[in-house]
Amino acid sequence: METAAVECAKCECCGLVEDCTRDYILGVRAAFGGRWLCGLCSEAVRDEAARTTTKTKTTTAAAGMEAALRDHMAFCGKCRRSPAFRVADGMRQMLRRCSK
């Protein structure tokens, strides 16, 4: 059995670094216009995009996704400056295996 190649991917929203298979990374990038999002962020963006597209009938799925992505990135930018986020970020630094 062949082992899937694992690569590091960094979330464009919250900066989380995860080890993922290449296929998974490419799949996420394809869904979000070339950006890679972590599991939490991609779920939030997909949710928001689904809400936007059903709410505003004029919005295409792709446009809804872009808008949701922008909103979520702005939201994550705000979180990043909060003390609670910095604690979580410190935890991640500790757990990170990709920096070398």
Strands 17-21 and 6-10: antiparallel
44 binds Zn ion (CB under 5 A): no
Residue number, 28 or 52, with CB nearest to Zn ion: 28
* Residues in contact with 38: Cβ distance below 8 Å, sequence separation at least 6, in sequence order: 11, 13, 14, 16, 18
Question: Cβ closer to Zn ion: 47 or 54?
Answer: 47
The secondary structure element, H or E, covering residue 20 is strand 17-21
**Interface with Zn ion by CB under 5 A: which range of 15-23, 54-62, 64-72, 85-93?**
15-23
Instruction: State the residues that interact with Zn ion by CB under 5 A.
Output: 11, 13-14, 16, 38, 41
